[in-house]
Amino acid sequence: MSLPLRVRFQARAAGEVAETDAWWRANRDAADLFAQELSDMIAILAEAPGVGSPALDSELVPVRRVVFRKTRYHVYFRVVADTLEILAVWHARRQPPVL
């Protein structure tokens, strides 16, 4: 059994998470829902980084994405060595990010 991957948020993704979490807490009754879905998904990805789908842009071959079921946010990520890199966190209604 292998160890979970280390997790690293790129600066852009960390900013998107902070902004989204603040908005979610200020505007939704289920204030913790975004943070909980993010935490749960990061734990899954660190153990099983092959889940999700390849990013839609064919030039982003190592990049994958997953969609949160309840909040409809996408997480774009890739694995580099023993690290899960979170590249972007994006809502499904927005245009996909340029990575």
Residue 63 in domain: yes
Taking each continuous run of H as one helix and of E as one strand, the counts in the chain are 2, 5
- Quote the Cα angle for 15-79-69, to 5°: 60
Q: Which two tokens mark 90?
A: 């994006």
Residue 95 in domain: no
Q: With pLDDT > 70 as the criterion, what percentage of the chain qualifies?
A: 86
Q: What is the mean pLDDT of the chain?
A: 88
For residue 27, the domain's CATH number is 3.30.2310.20
Residue 31 in domain: yes
Structural domain of residue 76, as residue ranges? 6-90
pLDDT in tens, 66-76: 999 999 899 99
pLDDT in tens, 22-49: 999 999 999 999 999 999 999 999 999 9
